[in-house]
Structure 1
Amino acid sequence: MPRPTAVVCAYSSVGTSALQGLLEAGVEVKALYTYAQGADEQWFTPPAVVAGAHGIPVHMAPAFNADEVFEAIRAHRPDFLFSFYFREMIQARFLEIPRLGAYNLHGSLLPKYRGRAPINWVLVKGESETGITLHAMTPKPDDGHILAQARLPIDWDETALSLTQKAADAGRGLVREAIPGLVDGSLPRIDQKTLGPSTYFGGRKPVDSRLDFAMTAQEAFNQIRAVADPWPNAFLETAEGSAKVAWALPTDLPCPQGRFLALRDGVLLGFADGALRLHTLKVEGARLERPSEQANALRALGISEG
């Protein structure tokens, strides 16, 4: 029996792992469509590196839905088209090309958390569990029957980086194990409508990571861990300027809301119902970890000492 063939559209560490899962399942990947790695994305190995090591042609995708891309993919006559954390919505005409279907890997337990940045959003919302879903693609985002899911527990101090790595590891196995059932048609297909109502979250904007002293301490912590390094970080902003809160942890020690308290071994920042102990602030690119430096930075922002 000939090996199943696929064209893959992929990016991120999840895309890299899913591509590896396909190759481990014996799929012949005819082409990879991906993106150039950004200067702030050096923390993961991009799919293009894996493709290059296996002799797979790599195409950067500034305008994936162009006619010439459509014709090139159609010429491959692939069995599958896969989207693994690809940044573009793939037009409906592409979904009709593969003989055995087009499938997407999404970073949540669909139908919950459809849309962009699901890993960041589940942390912001304080979820204790999420997952990764392989589903059939339709012209609608994150729509279509579910083929496979893996559930992922979220630790209390989970960050976007650690949860992304969990999703990448799970995605690799999920894709690898799904291929035989996709090839012979034996994999059950679950209508998302039978699993309850869907929820949708859009792409995150910089303002979404702003900290507000009206937040509870847990809400502030969730915001911080959702965009901790290597993401751009949550931030405090006042009329006097801004500072990024790269990391902070909840504490039982008290601190007045909207103020800071400089202790010998750390700085507390007060929110609606409690406080966070600062670990790392960033001001104009400098990492501030000494309590005295952090206190001076907060004073410069016009935040009063409690």
Structure 2
Amino acid sequence: MRILFMGTPDIAAASLAAVLEAGHEVCGVFTREDKPVGRKQILTAPPVKQLALEHDLPVYQPKTLRTEEVQQQIRDLAPELIVVVAYGRILPPEVLCVPPKGCINLHVSLLPKYRGAAPVQWSVINGDKETGVSIMYLDEGLDTGDILNVAPVTIGPEETSGELFERITAQGAKTLVETIASIAEGTAVRTPQDHSKATLAPPLTKEMARFAFDQPAQKLHDLVRGMNPWPVAYFEQEGKKIKLRKSHVAAGSGAPGTVLSIKPLTIACAEGALELDEVVPEGSKPMAGSAWAAGRRLKAGDRL
């Protein structure tokens, strides 16, 4: 099938690789602009662009899809199907109507649950045991189109959103290729979403990562997992941010914030207790929670 691919980050590159391996004709690749990366701010191409150039595919990096010039470029490419994976731009109606077989999108949740920008992270933060991927037709709404295919993915009790995202990336590419095949064969079935069951997954912010120990330990542990690798959950101690990258729920009780033990560093919560396995003190490198506690000369009975 003649496909126009639109995507930007690693998950999109994995899907593009799968589409190419399946033997489809990719007539063009749309991706976001190159951006400065790292401390030296080196101008770097998105992962999708890098892969596209390796395969000698034409690459387009428009700042918007809403100009007549760009829309004519898309019409001239004459795609049968447009495939979108984390492109980062909304397709206007003038683009949605171009391909005769429509525009499809890979979304990393079981729609209509977790519509929006951070579905993987919120599924972990909320303590879900399962999430998945959905392949849907694009319409003018936010992740509101008819569903073509879904694949569930379990969430491990200690899994971070970063670790989960790696597994979902692989599942998403597999499910996407299966769905494209069904469209090509004319066997695809579209199912409208039940909009009454929709929930949202807004972008994460650094402020959302802030916590105190006046919550249940399990809820805090889920927050820590969901906020890893970014923006990383944190609490404040003496006016300094202490990021918490890894934790475990532990037995124990006491007034919230009470140090129950130093090795391992265990803090009482509203319900249960939390082991602080790996912390990043403000201005310092990652270290074991017990090492941080020793450096602060904390002892059992102290309060955070």
Report the TM-score, using the length of structure 2 for normalisation. Answer: 0.88
Aligned partners of 1:292, 1:285: CA distance in 2, in Å? Answer: 12
Structure 1 position 255, deviation (Å): 4.9
Q: Which runs of structure 2 are paired with 1:217-236 in the superposition (5 Å)?
A: 217-229=217-229, 231-236=230-235
Choose the corresponding residue for 1:270, options 257, 268, 271: 268
| Offset at residue 239 of structure 1 (A) | 6.0
**Are the equivalent residues in 1 in contact too, given 2:6–2:29 (CA < 8 A)?**
yes
Shift of 1:28: 1.2
Check 1:11–1:269 CA distance in 2 against 1; reply closer, same or farther (3 A cut). Answer: farther
Q: How many correspondences in the alignment? A: 293
User: 1:200 corresponds to which residue?
Assistant: 200
Moved more, 142-151 or 244-253: 244-253
Tell me if the contact between 1:217 and 1:271 (Cα under 8 Å) persists in the aligned partners.
Answer: yes
Task: Give the gaps of 5 or more residues in structure 2.
Answer: 39-45
Asked if residue 92 in structure 1 is aligned to residue 76 in structure 2, the reply is no
Alignment of 1:29 with 2:29, yes or no, is no
- Would the alpha carbon gap of residues 87 and 295 (structure 1) be closer, same or farther in structure 2, given more than 3 Å must change? farther
Contact 1:249/1:276 (CA < 8 Å) preserved in 2? yes
- Helix, strand or coil for the counterpart of 1:243? strand
1:185 matches 2:186 = yes
**1:37 Cα deviation (Å)?**
6.3
Code of the residue aligned with 1:53 in structure 2: it is E
Of structures 1 and 2, the one with the larger relative CO (CA 8 A, separation 6+) is 1
Distance in 2 separating the partners of 1:83 and 1:297: 50
- In 1, Cα distance between equivalents of 2:69 and 2:237: 49
Q: Return the TM-score normalized by structure 1.
A: 0.88
Distance (Å, rounded) in 2 between the aligned partners of 1:37 and 1:104: 24
Q: Establish whether residue 136 from structure 1 lines up as the match of residue 137 from structure 2.
A: yes
Distance in 1 (alpha carbons) for counterparts of 2:67 and 2:135: 25
**5 Å matches for 1:19-168?**
19-35=16-32, 36=34, 39=37, 46-168=47-169
1:279–1:179 Cα change, 3 Å = same
Q: Once the two structures are aligned, what percentage of the paired residues are identical? A: 25
- Which shifted more, 235-244 or 184-193? 235-244
Q: CA RMSD in A?
A: 2.3
Deviations 1:57-106 (A, max 9, x none): 22335434444322211210111111101222221211011121101110
> Do the aligned residues in 1 keep the contact of 2:148 with 2:188 (CA within 8 Å)?
yes
Residues 135 and 243 (structure 1), Cα distance of their counterparts in 2 relative to 1, 3 Å cut:
same
Gaps of 5+ in 1: none
